Amino acid sequence: MAVDRPATILIIGAGPIGLETALYARYLGYDVIVCEAGDVCQQVQRWKHVRMFSPFELNCSPLGKAAIGSHDPQHSFPKDDEIITARQWMSDYLIPLAQTDLIRKHIQTNCRVISVSRTWVHKSDLDSEQRQEDAFRVLIQREEIQQVITADVVIDTSGVLTNPNPIGAGGSNACGEQQVEQQIDRVIPTIDAAEALTGKRVAVVGAGHSAATTLIALAENAVAVTWITRNASEIAGGEIPDDPLTERKRISQRLTELVLAGKIHCLPNVAIHAITTTDDSAMQIEYFQQTDSEDELEIQQAMFEHVFGFTGYRPDTSMYRELQVHQCYATEGPIKLAANLLNENASDCLEIGSGSNSLLLNPEPDFYILGMKSYGRQPGFLFHTGLQQVVQLFQILGDRESLNVYQTFQN
């Protein structure tokens, strides 16, 4: 059923997908409120020094470029095939997008969403028509003040980067991990930060591309780095044959070179049992390591002066606990999309399609999860995939399968 304009759409998060969703909604005439817990694109700021895998053309929308161009006709964009850093993405696209006339006044920063529920209907009430007629009740907090906003549609684009997975065995906390959590580095180091660790003993836990990028930066600065993985010492999913993303291919090949050259010490097939700090602020990791031997595994120890943790992220679902959202038992993402992703089982995120519009539907009417959070614990989300989700969402809300604003502005 179509959501008539000017319905109120509340968007949680002013990250890249939140901004694009807000722009699309405003262009179509919806009333929009964007609630951002921190600053605009705050999580992108954390990795602003990092080169992106995909070219600029996959990290912008035709509508976004048109809105920025209308606001500032002299604005210069990166070339379509240019590989830019997150800093350039911020300065050349995301911040100008947030400052456009269509959405600037609709973004509320330092505005944290505490919970989303209905007003009169409870989670256990099963009448979907009654649920749809009952407005969303969104509890927000600014500094110490809480208040309620009502909305017809709620879209969660808050992402997962504020909720990293523990580095302990089985995906749970290692003994003592919560006490040293603030000392586990979750950010890819800058060149200066990597140089500051030269000569020190450093552990990198994880097998994704963030771990790989960190390992390269450290090894190239003569850091005594150990790569700790729960499986083999290779990037999760392995190297992609004929990888079309040149930066991703470069990272995979360079990591292999450094491992083969002995610049990176590998510690594969490890489960971290405990992590504690010593009197001299070093970190002691206790772990089990699987071998071909049938002997009982014994706890081993290693000392490090710095630890990086890149073991993925998980969604924080607490804010919509009172809504009827069917989550995947494995990824904690919305079940329809999660099942589709698990069935595709593609090693290359470029090969993962957005699927049918129905994959975005939840049992809760007019509540949607877009962006990285829609993948739950699954890695491989691309900004370009999020743009496809935005198109699909408004085809649902407008009850028009042919609706595609991006095509209107396509060069």
Confidence grade of residue 238 (pLDDT, cut at 50, 70, 90): low
* Domain architecture of the chain: domains with CATH: 8-162+313-409 (3.50.50.60), 169-309 (3.50.50.60)
**Of 3-7, 249-253, 254-258, 333-337, the least confident:** 3-7
Crossing angle, helix 383-398 and helix 16-27, to 10 degrees? 30
Confidence grade of residue 280 (pLDDT, cut at 50, 70, 90): confident
The percentage of the chain sitting over the pLDDT mark of 90, rounded to a whole number, equals 83
Count of beta carbons in the 10 Å neighbourhood of residue 97 = 26
Which of 186, 107, 115 lies closest to 147, judged by CA?
115
**pTM, 2 dp:** 0.94
Cα–Cα–Cα angle for 182, 209, 223, rounded to 5 degrees: 65
Mean pLDDT of the chain: 93
Residues 364/326, Cβ–Cβ less than 8 Å: no
Q: 3-state DSSP helix/strand/coil percent for the chain, to nearest 5?
A: 35, 20, 45
56 SS3 class: helix
Query: Per-residue pLDDT for 234 more than 80?
Result: no
Residues 121/131, Cβ–Cβ less than 8 Å: yes
Which of 166, 190, 161, 162 lies closest to 177, judged by CA?
166
Confidence grade of residue 80 (pLDDT, cut at 50, 70, 90): very high
Query: Per-residue pLDDT for 311 more than 80?
Result: yes
Amino acid identity, position 325: V
